[in-house]
Structure 1
């Protein structure tokens, strides 16, 4: 098995870690910038010399002290939740000012248009026929085959159409807040990595091949999603963790949660990228051919599922999903799967597959 790697992500946060502002910026992000380069600042140097962190009350480490664009209060990057790893570029709002942001509301028609739903959510016959076809496949499978290997399970959507509307609305609001488009597929754009670069045979240590039956289960989940029968998941905003995902119904172990989607690009083009959710898709023997998934402009609910702090026992206990890269018909795909039963209301977390020394998961909540 070749598990998926993931680059720096701060517990579902919508805030990105990026390089410091250049001198031509209209406003500097840190107190240190203002004090050392006051001639570029919009305000006078002395107005900010006594700014202190609103959380710890200290004015030390001015290079780590961020200024809110709205209230002009200071915050140490390490004191913020989620933690900010690098000085942001452009506008930045403190948690209090950011919390005043209005959340866009979506009508049923707009939700249908946003997710390009093919049929009405009230089409119960369609849902019943999909469930019946899954049961027929199970009955036709020999018992010996059933016992040989545990297969992936399709998610079970909520029975109530109004619940599914609420679930999709929460995702649409989160994607809109990050100015993202919904996409349930990997996207190959001109100027980025072509689809031909996604060749599972290039994986340096080999990749687990997804069984034919599991591919059918994955396609079955995709067909449900296209009809508005989404997984029982809600995107919620937490003042500490940012956008995160919780179960809106019970989920059984080995259930497919979601496929990780977004724009596909070469890793070499994204080594200095400021994205907080870049996912490894292919690790090639030739590093120049390694590719990643970048859900900064397009993506789905997988974008908001959080990583865990795998340096602590409490952090590891949170893990209820695993993230695995599979060879699906010769192409690499990343799938999130429940690794234990998940109760309604429980938040979803997955680990970083043991790469504790490569990724700073000790910063996670």
Structure 2
């Protein structure tokens, strides 16, 4: 008997449903990646921070300062504007060829540098100023009494044994904050941390290498009284009583230091601080402020202070042109290496009375005469 129409329709639905559920699904092919298009050079130059197209010939490059193309071995080419500058025509001058890329002052914005002001709270945190305690006040009173006793000594005794003097901080706390603010702004602009101590880091010279007994020919020993004066200066700095100095940016000389008050002869200006390393590790370093710490009998053990990461106001005191009489007249400080409790330390001391507003200068060479100063202002 043939099936009815209803039965046939139900069977078709069942078969069709089985076919739909049991039939394998076809996967759609993955979308083909869009064809890669090479970027035009104009698009790259628009998005890049800076890019310079190399010239075929640099023979016509001249210095932007002196307009001379001579001494091509001393010409530095800016990686942004591709202009040339003599190393000794730059202010401050560049002593060594920089490692890696180099950008001129105009492109880096140093010529129009704005000194960023820091608030009082930030200045206190930046220098890690400690709160004054009663014991500190007593010690301060005693030190003042000791300094008065020294002044009462006879003139003959003072000439026979001249002692270092502690700096006298500004009486106005607001003025002291202003002085520290200029230093904090300068250190921040150079991406440096403040430090009044010598730092010994892994991979550099250890503290055990800094011993005055390794000095070739011996090193002068700082007397007990002068050590106490040095420690008094360090204690004052920790309390926020800084030396009366301002860090000022000069378009010709770069960062300079000037006296914000009168400074007497033989006053301790600052102790040179920074990372301690072997000279052999810094032979090709482009840091322009390295200071000799130890000249050992074995040259491989000689040490330098490198204030490129950490340092204090000594980093910004400029050098004189010791090839001219006018340059020598500007010198009002000297940098002396002392043995302090058996360890080498570098101290900047005033060599004459310094008036308020006068810039601080010292001879970078001392007795070594290896640093090129004939092009200093």
Instruction: Give the shorter-chain TM-score range.
Output: 0.7 to 0.9
CA contact (8 A) 1:95 1:239 kept: no
Structure 1 position 233 matched with structure 2 position 242:
no
SS at match of 2:355: coil
TM-superposed CA distance for 1:199, in Å, is 0.9
Structure 1 residues 108 and 263: CA distance shift in structure 2, 3 A: same
Count residues in correspondence: 322
TM-superposed CA distance for 1:87, in Å, is 3.7
User: What is the distance in 1 between the residues matched to 2:62 and 2:147?
Assistant: 63
* Range moving further from structure 2, 224-233 or 48-57: 48-57
User: What is the distance in 2 between the residues matched to 1:213 and 1:163?
Assistant: 30
TM-superposed CA distance for 1:294, in Å, is 0.8
Residue number in structure 2 paired with 1:327: 339
Structure 1 residues 278 and 65: CA distance shift in structure 2, 3 A: closer
SS at match of 1:135: helix
Structure 1 position 279 matched with structure 2 position 291:
yes
Of 212, 215, 226 in structure 1, the residue corresponding to residue 227 of structure 2 is 215
Of 70, 84, 106 in structure 1, the residue corresponding to residue 94 of structure 2 is 84
Structure 1 residues 199 and 44: CA distance shift in structure 2, 3 A: closer
Structure 1 position 75 matched with structure 2 position 90:
no
Structure 1 residues 69 and 214: CA distance shift in structure 2, 3 A: same
SS at match of 2:188: helix
User: What is the distance in 2 between the residues matched to 1:46 and 1:198?
Assistant: 50
Structure 1 residues 155 and 82: CA distance shift in structure 2, 3 A: same
Structure 1 position 137 matched with structure 2 position 146:
yes
Instruction: Show the 5 A alignment for 1:40-59.
Output: 42-45=52-55, 52-59=62-69
Q: Which runs of 5 or more structure 1 residues have no equivalent in the other structure?
A: 1-40
Q: Which runs of 5 or more structure 2 residues have no equivalent in the other structure?
A: 1-50
Structure 1 residues 69 and 286: CA distance shift in structure 2, 3 A: closer
User: What is the distance in 2 between the residues matched to 1:211 and 1:241?
Assistant: 36
Instruction: Show the 5 A alignment for 1:1-365.
Output: 42-45=52-55, 52-59=62-69, 64-69=74-79, 71-88=81-98, 89-95=100-106, 97-119=109-131, 129=138, 131-138=140-147, 143=153, 146=158, 148-352=160-364, 354-355=366-367, 357-365=369-377
CA contact (8 A) 1:183 1:261 kept: yes
Question: Which one has the largest radius of gyration?
Answer: 2
Structure 1 residues 211 and 100: CA distance shift in structure 2, 3 A: same
* Range moving further from structure 2, 179-188 or 354-363: 354-363
CA contact (8 A) 2:52 2:80 kept: no
CA contact (8 A) 2:95 2:288 kept: no
SS at match of 1:361: coil
CA contact (8 A) 1:245 1:347 kept: yes
Higher relative contact order (CA 8 A, sep 6+): 1
CA contact (8 A) 1:327 1:333 kept: yes
TM-superposed CA distance for 1:280, in Å, is 0.9
